[in-house]
Amino acid sequence: MARRGVSGARRGGAWPSAAVPQRRCGWGAGAAMSEPGAAGPSPAAIQVSRIMRPDDANIAGNVHGGTILKMIEEAGAIISTRHCNSQAGEPCVAALARVERTDFLSPMCIGEVANVSAEITYTSRHSVEVQVNVMSENILTGAKKVTNKATLWYVPLSLKNVNKVVEVPPIQYARKEQEDEGKKRYEEQKLDRLETKQRNGDVILPVINPEPHTVGYSQSSLIHLVGPSDCTLLGFVHGGVTMKLMDEVAGIVAARHCKTNIVTASVDAINFHEKIKKGCVITVSGRMTFTSNKSMEIEVFVDADPFVDEPRERYRAVSAFFTYVSLSKEGKPLPVPQLLTETEDEKRRFEEGKGRYLQTKAKRQAQMQQSAQQ
């Protein structure tokens, strides 16, 4: 069986990041990580650094959004797994359950260094919230900038029984308000995960001879056989691997629609509904749902077919919305062709996407006004 097949051309990059190496570790060439207790924002923080190589970027030299998402998840998995095993108890591995919305603030390029720092900010009885910041550094000029901020939620799964969620050691808060704010975020993400799972029955069907700029024209799928290198110690797919594949498919959809250089601008909350086991064949499907003058929203699904050990029906494992922008050769934003909706479902999804776009735009404007007043 072919390991992986792709429907469509190779994709674009991201508005991504970089940093300063510290102590050497086994993350491959150019990678480094600080230990807990080393110099940093707190004892419960880590830092991972890696130089961006040509295979991390698109043909324009912009680093793929999926590459950055994978580094973010790896840092989150390290710190949450380490924390969950910090006290005597059942050995466990932290599994990614959700990634909150994250914006790609500026492009990262080949040759820059990505510095990913992660810190635990809240724990419930069975989950861990991790805040991750990504910084880029031009090692020729020394220029640095923050390129990503992300919030991830992990649950610890027992090494002896993968269906058992073990208890999380509590963390100490500097102020009672920090715990209260964390609990509020925890309850909000639980509700959103439930609502997302309930609307996950959609499927993407092939379209014969679609017209340009329609949903069917740009929709794309990728098929991937899950191997050992994709998985955790428990034999389930790393969340970062899944997100990288999702970003790749979303990039293909955006490139087919625009036929220009495209980069990831943001990712809405990514919900991991079910684990994906080694040996599964996963289908990652994407379709355009909304376009504004200068951005595109792409909905991406991940469906899993478990063929090995425990045959069962295909199931929806992950879902998310990605936003892309079109760039000129000089890196300037270009107008996006209007999406042509044909069916009632496509028109409904377009209006839903428009609502999300306007809500995000209003929130961003409110944040800018608040910053200006400070």
| Identity of the residue numbered 87 | Q
Q: Which two tokens stand for residue 179?
A: 């715990």
Strand runs labelled E in the chain: 4-6, 13-14, 32-33, 45-51, 92-99, 102-103, 113-123, 128-137, 144-158, 220-225, 261-267, 270-272, 281-291, 296-305, 315-327, 333-334
Q: Which residues, in sequence order, are CB contacts of 188 under 8 Å at separation 6+?
A: none
Pinpoint the alpha helices (H) of the chain. 65-84, 176-198, 215-218, 239-258, 344-373
Amino acid at 178: Q
| Three-state SS at 68 | helix
Is 58 designated active site? yes
Mark 208-230 as b/e (b = at least 16 C-beta within 10 Å): eeeeebbbbbbbbbbbbbbeeeb
| Number of other CB atoms surrounding residue 311 within 10 Å | 8
> Tokens at residue 1, please?
């069986």
**Which residue among 58, 115, 148, 271 is the active-site one?**
58
309 is catalytic: no
Distance between CA 356 and CA 22 in Å, rounded? 40
Choice among 56, 247, 268, 303 that is catalytic: 247
List residues with catalytic annotation: 58, 247
